[in-house]
Structure formats: C-alpha cells, structure tokens
Amino acid sequence: MSRPSQFAVFGHPIAHSLSPRIHQAFAQQFGIALEYRTIDAAPSVFADAVRHFFSEEQGRGANVTLPHKSSAFALADERTEAAARAGTANVLTRLADGRLAAHNTDGAALVRDLTDRHRLDLRGHDTLLLGAGGAARAVAWSLFEAGVQTLTIVNRSPEAADALADAIGEPARVHTRYWEDLGNIGSFDLIVNATSAGTLGQALTLPLSLVGSRAVCYDLGYGASAFGFLAWARATGALHAYDGLGMLVEQAADAFQLWHGKRPDTEPVYKSLRTQGA
C-alpha cells in the first residue's frame, strides 16, 4: 500500500494548531488518506526544515503560521498575486517540477467568512482595519476588492499603515490615521482587529466611539486571544462580534482545494470546532 500524501503545518510554537484536525476532517469528506502533521521549527531552522520536508520527505503541501509567513514567502520559487501583495505566504505547494509556490489565502478567507457565513454585504461599509502586519496586508486588499466603501488603516507603527495604503493606491477610499487619534476619527460599520496583541497576551485599549450603531466587529484571532477584543465589542453594543475561527477554516479550505482539487464543506468542520470550544 502506498504511503498517504504528506502535508504539514509549520509554526513556532505549533502544538496548539487546529490545522491537522481541520485537514483530516476535510479529507474524510472525500475518503482521502492524509498524513498531516505539525512541524515546530524555530526561525533559524525554518528554511532547512521546509527544504527537508519537500525534498527528502516528498511533502506535497504545507500551511505556514506565525512566525514564518514572511520567510515562507521569501523562500518560494514563485508567488501568487495575493501572496505578493501581502508579502507573506500561509500556504506552500510543491509544483510538478519540484519548485515551491507561495500562496496567501487569508484575505479571501476573511471575506468569505464575513459574506458567506455571517451574511454581511460589505459594500458600503466604512471599515476600520487595526494592524498592518502580514495578515492585515492580506485582508486589506480583499476587503477593498470586496467593495467596502472606505478602509481606514491604523497601526501602532504608522509607517506600515502608510505603506499598505500606498500599495493599494486608492486614496479616495483607503486612508491611514494615527493610533493616538482613534478617539476622534468617528465611528465605523466594520472594525477588523488584525493586530497580534491578543495572541501576545496584550490588551488593546480602544475607544467606544469607534463602534457605529450597527457595527460588526471581527477579530482575526480565535479562542482566548480574541476574548479581550470581543468583550470590548460587546460592551460597545456592536451588532455582531465575531472571532477568526471561521476565517481559519476557510483559509484551510482554500489550501485543501489547491492541494487536492476538491472543495470541502467547511460548515460541519466549523460547527464541530465551535462545539468543542475552539
């Protein structure tokens, strides 16, 4: 019997990752036998670990999470437009000739979670994006292309926000503001927290005035890392407050489709993770 196809998620730390469960659940939908494991690689050995996985172990595809998304982008032989815009990759795929392709499915995943799962029509939404790191860069483009009316990017380090807005290059719809000015920039219909503050165990201090009367608040983090932002959102009276679990499942579905050419049904997997308290 042939060995099941090789897949993995690289991160540091990585033991907490839900990706193996998600990919195994998708594989079960199609009767695919899958070997999908976590690979904990410190930044200094990441590139070597990736090369070993794809060349020595015949790896076919890998997910990549913190802190390796920029390195994954840099070491790939070719990159999709979404990855190039973000400057990061969350998926690596071995091509038929052995070269590695970098993809970034985070932005599309957020938009699908908001529009398909949470039934939000993004058109016309004045949107605040907190953060300008790799995930923020991915989701900014996708939110813009999904038709938000305006996108205001605010980052602790303002240069990164300015660079992102300049890259999108639509000053009539995409602006930046200083973090210190959050208290006087008005209110928004959609607020997306793409900072890693929650993941790092740091609290964000955000003014209540940001939240419009029917605002939706979304934290890219999930589990405990999203608790602080979601508690703030609920305290402001936001219409809805969502975490990034749906986005996580959606980005995995995109990776699964890239590797297996089949589109999994994300809803049962999302519901199962939610029921299990993820």
Could you tell me the smallest distance in angstroms from the CB atom of residue 265 to ligand NDP?
Answer: 18
Task: Using the minimum distance from each CB to ligand NDP, give the nearer residue, 55 or 259.
Answer: 259
**Spatial contact of 87 and 134, defined as CB atoms under 8 Å apart:** yes
Sheet of strand 211-219, all strands in order from the earlier edge strand to the far edge? 174-178, 150-155, 126-130, 188-193, 211-219, 240-242
Could you tell me the smallest distance in angstroms from the CB atom of residue 142 to ligand NDP?
Answer: 12
Q: Which helix (H) or strand (E) holds 135?
A: helix 134-145
Is residue 93 classed as helix, strand or coil in its secondary structure? strand
What is the distance between the alpha carbons of residues 120 and 71, in angstroms, rounded to a whole number? 33
What is the distance between the alpha carbons of residues 69 and 83, in angstroms, rounded to a whole number? 10
What is the distance between the alpha carbons of residues 119 and 250, in angstroms, rounded to a whole number? 15
Could you tell me the smallest distance in angstroms from the CB atom of residue 187 to ligand NDP?
Answer: 20
Could you tell me the smallest distance in angstroms from the CB atom of residue 159 to ligand NDP?
Answer: 8
Task: Using the minimum distance from each CB to ligand NDP, give the nearer residue, 57 or 180.
Answer: 180
Task: Using the minimum distance from each CB to ligand NDP, give the nearer residue, 4 or 105.
Answer: 105
Residues that bind ligand NDP (CB under 6 A): 66, 69, 106, 131-136, 155-157, 160, 194-197, 199-200, 202, 204, 220-222, 225, 244, 247-248, 251
Could you tell me the smallest distance in angstroms from the CB atom of residue 33 to ligand NDP?
Answer: 26
Q: Which two tokens stand for residue 95?
A: 């091509």
- Nearest Cα residue to 133 out of 164, 99, 97, 174: 164
Task: Using the minimum distance from each CB to ligand NDP, give the nearer residue, 61 or 134.
Answer: 134
Q: Identify whether 69 is a catalytic site residue.
A: yes
What is the distance between the alpha carbons of residues 2 and 82, in angstroms, rounded to a whole number? 34
Known binding-site residue numbers for NADP(+): 81, 131-135, 220, 244
What is the distance between the alpha carbons of residues 220 and 225, in angstroms, rounded to a whole number? 9
Task: Using the minimum distance from each CB to ligand NDP, give the nearer residue, 106 or 126.
Answer: 106
Residue nearest to ligand NDP (CB): 133
Instruction: Give the active site residue among 23, 69, 103, 125.
Output: 69
Q: Where are any strands of DSSP class E within 80-225?
A: 91-94, 100-103, 126-130, 150-155, 174-178, 188-193, 211-219
Which residues carry out catalysis? Answer: 69
